[in-house]
């Protein structure tokens, strides 16, 4: 039997990347990226090709995760919250003086939508819930002076704004009482908002933006088909023209010109990403890039003149390598690999699979097996995605690589209610938390066993957010199927989850009522689907991890089920991260959690273990409750 692969250190899988997320300044002169500074991710900038790189942000806590260059070519903008509370503030860094300013210095206020425009380089449109915590008004900020002026007031149900190419507010998307959405548009600048499109709760729909010329809109929706389609439609409602559509999969990523705003390509990823080119001018570029490096091609940044692109290449065996591409000469220059140390280790391929649910629904799934050694009768980790209105995708997944490297079969399944596979698949999950959505996961485990991949006596369920709920539900509703469960920031009671959502989610409560249940009239129904009310059935050991500042799934969601389990003498390990929110941003916290999860899974499934470092052990001693 072949020997198992060398253990990949957790620090390489889950520590900070060496470099990541490159961006070009609009004038193409500067390039930025994320990289550690004193162990914390910050933004580094190179002012010209031969200039030394310099760090321009100085976060010392959670790290910077989202940034972009301002259109004035003199500032870098980034978002930051406090210890995971998701009250995002917009910060600006001046390149000439290094001055760092909080552009939205309002306590308890969250930044929402952000818009910039090359024709107004000193202005930014920013959504903020300053007037009312539940809704986001739109404000116009002057980047040079910091002056803030109300641009458009939210009438109470707007969940997004539509901006035209002259940097004017021309519409909004409103949440409707039936769980659907309505697009309101001003058909001429300065005109009143009028109803333009209406999507019921069964449909997916959104406005992409104005097409060139501003006489029509790009829309993506499923009004005329099961899967979403991209089309252009006149502001008078006429001349609807379908640009891209595929059976079986919704429209995904788009490639959009940086100044004309023309949609140039639409991505579709039933499993692997495929581009459908809509603008023939970029066809030679995508063809040339296909010869540069293996992997899925994604342009991640372009300069204003559209002469230079930064492009990502990634696959299931590579988290990402970035190249700079010159369109005129069609030449490419390697920038960096995100995690170059991974090249020293053997990674595991991710295999697409189709699993037939017990009621006949086909579930797109992904199976990752240890790259060497025994590949039959393995201990299994069912890794459930969050959302639940999201999806698993083919590609590099650090958790899949970690678990496969430790000797587990890893199964990720797009259960009904997942997005990306059409509205029938999405709506099949309505009111099915803890029921058919959970049964899909059960069916997936049974499939892995029937195919010989998994040992029926050694299966774990693992996940974060909705995946954490599913882990608790698996332990409660199918106690004989799993031998342990790992819940990361998962709700234990659907009722208390809905009652404690952040105020800025209030307009979206209608969606919860349609897709999950009505807390006002169906409390009994929701309690029947909530693991908290079924702790007596839980017999398997649990590991529960929670961020104290989580605004989405409050600390009480974990505390109440831990208390109920311990009151009944059940086995549960509880980790509380005082300086985290909905997940683990700080690298030291990530490392501690994965060290604990690795030991937990090995204890109950029999996989391999990298011993915790002294720092991980010390931190875990503080985290355990």
Pairing of strands 350-356, 362-368: antiparallel
| The one catalytic residue among 443, 492, 550, 585 | 550
Task: Return the beta strands (E) in 119-180 as ranges.
Answer: 123-132, 135-142, 148-152, 158-163, 169-175
Q: What whole-number distance in Å separates Cα of residue 360 and Cα of residue 376?
A: 26
Q: What pLDDT score does 373 carry?
A: 73
Mean pLDDT computed over 595-607: 98
pLDDT band at 318 (very low <50, low <70, confident <90, very high): very high
Q: Which residues, other chains included, contact 467 with Cβ-Cβ below 8 Å and sequence gap of 6+?
A: 383, 384, 385, 386, 488, 490
Query: Model confidence at 584, in pLDDT bands (50, 70, 90)?
Result: very high
As a whole number, mean pLDDT of residues 89-102 equals 95
What average pLDDT score do residues 105-121 get?
95
Select which of 465, 493, 558, 585 is catalytic.
465
Residue 1 pLDDT class (50, 70, 90 cuts): low
Model pLDDT for residues 466-505, shown as the tens digit of each residue: 999 999 999 999 999 999 999 999 999 999 999 999 999 9
The mean of the pLDDT values for the chain is 96
State yes or no: pLDDT of 89 exceeds 90.
yes
Residue 75 tokens read as: 């500032």
d(CA 589, CA 623): 9
Rg for the chain, CA atoms, rounded: 24
Beta bridge partners of 148: 141
Active site annotation includes 493: no
pLDDT beyond 70 at 572? yes
* pTM of the complete model: 0.96
Domains defined along the chain, listed by start: 18-149 (2.120.10.30), 349-623 (3.40.50.1820)
| CA pair distance 365, 169, nearest whole angstrom | 41
For the record, the structure tokens of 356 come out as 């037939």
Looking at the predicted structure, is the pLDDT value of residue 429 above 70?
A: yes
Tell me, yes or no, if 216 is annotated catalytic: no
Tokens of residue 404, six digits: 């496969």
Average pLDDT over residues 369-387: 93
Task: Find the distance separating the first CA and the last CA of the chain, reported in whole Å.
Answer: 42
Taking only the tens place, the pLDDT of each residue in 185-225 is: 999 999 999 999 999 999 999 999 999 999 999 999 999 99
At residue 404 the predicted structure's pLDDT band, cuts being 50, 70 and 90, is very high
Model pLDDT for residues 20-63, shown as the tens digit of each residue: 999 999 999 999 999 999 999 999 999 998 899 999 999 999 99
518-563: pLDDT as tens digits: 999 999 999 999 999 999 999 999 999 999 999 999 999 999 999 9
Q: Which two tokens stand for residue 31?
A: 């390039």
- Which pLDDT value is given to residue 4? 85
Question: What pLDDT, in 10s, does the model give residues 237-261?
Answer: 999 999 999 999 999 999 999 999 9
Active-site residue flag, 117: no
Q: What does the chain come to in residues?
A: 625
């Amino acid at each position: 039997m072949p020997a198992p692969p060398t253990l990949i250190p957790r620090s390489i899988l889950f520590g900070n990347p060496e470099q990541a997320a490159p961006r070009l300044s609009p004038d193409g002169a500067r390039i930025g990226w994320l990289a550690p500074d004193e162990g914390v991710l910050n933004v580094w900038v190179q002012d010209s090709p031969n200039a030394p790189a310099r760090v321009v942000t100085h976060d010392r806590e959670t790290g910077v995760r989202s940034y972009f260059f301002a259109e004035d070519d003199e500032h870098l903008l980034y978002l930051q919250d406090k210890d995971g509370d998701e009250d995002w503030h917009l910060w600006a860094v001046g390149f000439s003086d290094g001055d760092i300013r909080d552009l939205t210095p309002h306590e308890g206020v969250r930044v929402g939508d952000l818009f910039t425009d090359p024709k107004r380089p000193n202005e930014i449109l920013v959504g903020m819930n300053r007037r009312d915590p539940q809704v986001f008004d739109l404000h116009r900020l002057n980047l040079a002076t910091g002056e803030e002026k109300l641009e458009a007031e939210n009438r109470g149900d707007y969940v997004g704004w539509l901006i035209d190419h002259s940097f004017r507010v021309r519409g909004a998307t409103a949440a409707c009482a039936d769980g659907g959405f309505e697009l309101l548009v001003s058909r001429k600048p300065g005109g009143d908002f009028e109803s333009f499109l209406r999507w019921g709760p069964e449909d997916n729909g959104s406005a992409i933006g104005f097409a060139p010329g501003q006489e029509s809109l790009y829309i993506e929706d499923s009004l005329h088909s099961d899967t979403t389609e991209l089309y252009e439609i006149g502001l008078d409602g006429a001349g609807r023209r379908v640009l891209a559509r595929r059976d079986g999969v919704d429209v995904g990523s788009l490639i959009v010109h940086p100044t004309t705003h023309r949609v140039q390509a639409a991505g579709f990823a039933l499993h692997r990403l495929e581009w459908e080119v809509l603008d023939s001018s970029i066809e030679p570029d995508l063809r040339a890039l296909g010869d540069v490096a293996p992997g899925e091609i994604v342009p991640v940044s372009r300069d204003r003149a559209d002469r230079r692109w930064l492009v990502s290449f990634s696959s299931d065996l590579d988290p990402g390598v970035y190249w700079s591409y010159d369109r005129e000469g069609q030449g490419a220059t390697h920038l960096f690999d995100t995690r170059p140390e991974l090249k020293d280790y053997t990674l595991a391929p991710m295999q697409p699979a189709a699993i037939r649910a017990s009621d006949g629904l086909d579930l797109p799934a992904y199976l990752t097996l240890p790259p060497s050694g025994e590949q039959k009768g393995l201990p299994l980790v069912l890794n459930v995605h969050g959302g639940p209105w999201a999806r698993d995708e083919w590609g590099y997944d650090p958790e899949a690589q970690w678990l496969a490297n430790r000797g587990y079969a890893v199964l990720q399944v797009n259960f009904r209610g997942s997005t990306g596979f059409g509205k029938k698949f999405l709506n099949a999950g309505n009111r099915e938390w803890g029921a058919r959505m959970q049964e899909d996961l059960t069916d997936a485990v049974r499939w892995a066993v029937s195919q010989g991949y998994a040992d029926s006596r050694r299966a774990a369920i693992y996940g974060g957010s909705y995946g954490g709920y599913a882990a608790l539900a698996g332990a409660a509703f199918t106690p004989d199927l799993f031998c342990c469960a790992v819940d990361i920031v998962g709700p234990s009671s659907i009722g208390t989850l809905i009652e404690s959502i952040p105020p800025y989610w209030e307009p979206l409560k209608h969606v919860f009522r349609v897709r999950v249940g009505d807390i006002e009239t169906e409390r009994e129904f929701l309690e029947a689907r909530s693991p908290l009310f079924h702790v007596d059935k839980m017999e398997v050991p649990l590991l529960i991890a929670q961020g104290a500042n989580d605004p989405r799934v409050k600390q009480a969601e974990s505390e109440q089920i831990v208390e109920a389990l311990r009151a009944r003498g059940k086995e549960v390990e509880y980790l509380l991260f005082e300086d985290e929110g909905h997940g683990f941003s700080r690298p030291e916290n990530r490392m501690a959690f994965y060290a604990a999860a690795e030991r937990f899974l090995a204890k109950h499934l029999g996989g391999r273990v990298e011993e915790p470092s002294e720092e991980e052990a010390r931190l875990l001693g503080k985290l355990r409750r």
